[in-house]
Amino acid sequence: MKSRVLVITSGKGGVGKTTTTANLGTALAMMNKRVVLLDTDIGLRNLDVVLGLENRIVFDIVDVVNGHCKLKQALIKDKRFEGLYLLPAAQTKDKTSITPHQMKNLVNELCKDFDYVLVDCPAGIEQGFKNAISGADCAIVVATPEVSSVRDADRIVGLLEASGLNNPQLIINRLRSKMVKRGDMMDIEDILDILSIDLLGVVPEDESIVVSTNRGEPAVMESSSRAGGAYRRVARRITGEDVPVLSFEERNNIVDKFKQMLKIAR
Amino acid sequence: MPAALKNVYEEMYINLQKPDTFMEIKRELEKKLCSIDNYLLGTRVNIDVGNKHLSNKQIREIEDILLDHGLHLKDLKSNESLGLPNACEDDKSFDFEELPDYAETKLICKHLRSGQKLITGGNVVILGDINPGAEVIAGGNILVMGNLKGMAHAGAYGDENAVVAAFRLNPTQLRIANHITRPPDGEVIQVNNPELARIKAGKVIIEKLKI
């Protein structure tokens, strides 16, 4: 199988790029794929923390690119899954320490050993973004149902197309179906109307994400997590399986069910 | 004079009932430990001294001999005292004369935050915290008068005698010379006193800082 290089980007910060990268990577590794996660947010690295691998870092992406160490020495093996690896970003350097050309070579090198290379892109559209998208053959755009996030996502889609990355895929993150129902939040259709790109998945707002992120254990590992389940479905879609996009109803509690029954009785 | 030396479930039992004086106990212990293989590094040791009473200082000396061979004292049995006395009563101080000499010592009076990196050839004393994501690299010793939560590398040019001491030692990663260690996964050990890390018998060990 030819390996795929997916860059996860958004333009706006705080919409869940790193969380998405960690969860999709873990979910793919759970499906026995060989996956490497590439953190390109040099100077503000987070992916290692989200994966709980921070204390294993010895070498980072800048060391690899500058030839201070071999690629194999810098790759950190995940503590839970056999096929999951992380190449951490440097924290004490800045985004100009590597060039798009070097990044491309690095990604090509990684493709020899892995089925999937997931690139976690920094926020913004400057050097870090240009580094991250060079070498990618597909882009995943993460957006939350907010006007500002969708606006930035639109800008990103334009920039991606300008650099030859056509057909980016959209993940809508942190959707609250209750607010959508009340009309207080953009719904999936509104966002797709504006961006007019393919929908890869919808991830509901979920408190368990905060818990799992703080603990350094991706939510996909927890079977009860709603967001984790959504990420698992997105991962299956990435591997080519045909999985329907669920519309997320807030889980009904007993009181709600009782009310519904009363309504029917009336 | 053969004394028993058994390995019981990752723990070792050393019988030192026969020697009469403390000097003889020490000599006998040294002799036995020399015959121990490397794979026993880190084993916990029970010592039986029989009818003798050992002072805190003497127990401390036995502990140091064991540590030099990469072993830990688990229990010291004698008819007079049961188990180890509380470490707080210990009067023997850490010997600062052992520390290597560096001409230059830098004093930093600020917190080191994520992404900040401090490199110095000699010793460094930090009056502040080292946060996760920050790095301190010193050719000599590192002393942190705050919470060390980031990465510290002492003896960066290969000095294995260098130490890292901190008011609160909770590093993401600790390096001394060419040794790299990290805290174990999933275990949160809260220690509420100053600690010191150094290399003993080829391993990085952390002990209570005694001054």
Give the CA distances from residue A169 to residues A136, A192, A210, B195, in Å, rounded to whole numbers and listed in that order. Answer: 13, 11, 25, 51
Co-location of B104 and B56 in the same domain: no
Question: Where a domain ends, among B89, B106, B128?
Answer: B89
| One-letter identity of residue A18 | T
Q: How far apart are CA B178 and CA B155, in angstroms?
A: 8
| Chain A residues whose beta carbon lies within 8 Å of the beta carbon of residue B116 | 92
Contact B114 A91 (CB under 8 A): yes
| One-letter identity of residue B45 | V
* Residues spanned by the domain of B110: 96-208
Q: How far apart are CA A219 and CA B10, in angstroms?
A: 37
Torsion of CA A218, A219, A221, A222, to 10 degrees: 150
Question: Where a domain ends, among B47, B64, B89?
Answer: B89
What does the pLDDT average to over B130-142?
95
| Chain A residues whose beta carbon lies within 8 Å of the beta carbon of residue B135 | 91-92
State the average pLDDT for chain A: 92
Give the CA distances from residue B70 to residues B36, B63, B158, in Å, rounded to whole numbers and listed in that order. Answer: 10, 10, 20
Nearest to A233 by CA among A195, A207, A204, A196: A204
CATH of the domain at B72: 3.30.70
* Residues spanned by the domain of A229: 4-265
Both tokens of residue A192?
A: 């797709």
B83 within 8 A of B75, measured Cβ to Cβ: yes
Co-location of B82 and B151 in the same domain: no
SS3 B191: coil
Q: How far apart are CA B62 and CA B60, in angstroms?
A: 5
Q: How far is A191 from chain B (nearest CA, A)?
A: 36
| Chain B residues whose beta carbon lies within 8 Å of the beta carbon of residue A57 | 173
DSSP classification of residue A15: S
Q: Is A54 on the interface with B (CB under 8 A)?
A: yes
Q: How far apart are CA A182 and CA A35, in angstroms?
A: 40
Co-location of B76 and B179 in the same domain: no
pLDDT, one tens digit per residue, over A225-239 is 999 999 999 999 999
Q: Which of A73-87, A200-214, A245-259, B94-108 has the lowest mean pLDDT?
A: A245-259
Co-location of B123 and B47 in the same domain: no
Sheet-wide strand order for B44-50:
B5-8, B11-15, B44-50, B72-78
Whether the per-residue pLDDT at A264 is higher than 70: the answer is: no
Co-location of B122 and B154 in the same domain: yes
Co-location of B116 and B164 in the same domain: yes
Question: Where a domain ends, among B37, B64, B89?
Answer: B89
Question: Global pTM?
Answer: 0.74
Candidate from B117, B172, B182 with C-beta closest to A92: B117
Co-location of B81 and B104 in the same domain: no
Candidate from B133, B180, B182 with C-beta closest to A91: B133
Q: How far apart are CA B209 and CA B211, in angstroms?
A: 7
Co-location of B142 and B200 in the same domain: yes
What does the pLDDT read at residue B167? 96
Candidate from B116, B132, B135 with C-beta closest to A54: B132
What does the pLDDT average to over A238-255?
72
Q: How far apart are CA A101 and CA A212, in angstroms?
A: 35
| Chain B residues whose beta carbon lies within 8 Å of the beta carbon of residue A91 | 114-115, 133, 135
Number of structural domains in chain B: 2
Q: How far is B160 from chain A (nearest CA, A)?
A: 19
A57 within 8 A of A49, measured Cβ to Cβ: no
Q: Which of A14-28, A184-198, B59-73 has the lowest mean pLDDT?
A: B59-73
What does the pLDDT read at residue B83? 44
Contact A92 B173 (CB under 8 A): no
Nearest to A160 by CA among A194, A128, A125, A110: A125
Q: How far is B174 from chain A (nearest CA, A)?
A: 9
For residue A182, the number of C-alpha atoms closer than 13 Å in the C-beta half-sphere is 7
Co-location of B82 and B142 in the same domain: no
| Chain A residues whose beta carbon lies within 8 Å of the beta carbon of residue B180 | 58
Whether the per-residue pLDDT at A113 is higher than 60: the answer is: yes
Whether the per-residue pLDDT at B93 is higher than 80: the answer is: no
Candidate from B114, B117, B172 with C-beta closest to A55: B172
pLDDT, one tens digit per residue, over A188-224 is 999 999 999 999 999 999 999 999 999 999 999 999 9
Number of structural domains in chain A: 1
Q: Which of A46-60, B1-15, B70-84 has the lowest mean pLDDT?
A: B1-15
Q: Is A223 on the interface with B (CB under 8 A)?
A: no
Q: How far apart are CA B157 and CA B155, in angstroms?
A: 5
Q: Is A113 on the interface with B (CB under 8 A)?
A: no
CATH of the domain at A119: 3.40.50.300
State the average pLDDT for chain B: 82
| Chain B residues whose beta carbon lies within 8 Å of the beta carbon of residue A52 | 185
Give the CA distances from residue B45 to residues B15, B28, B38, B51, B81, in Å, rounded to whole numbers and listed in that order. Answer: 11, 15, 15, 19, 17
What's the full length of chain B, in residues? 211
Query: Within chain B, how many helices (H) and strands (E) appear?
Result: 2, 15
| Chain B residues whose beta carbon lies within 8 Å of the beta carbon of residue A58 | 173, 180
A85 within 8 A of A36, measured Cβ to Cβ: yes
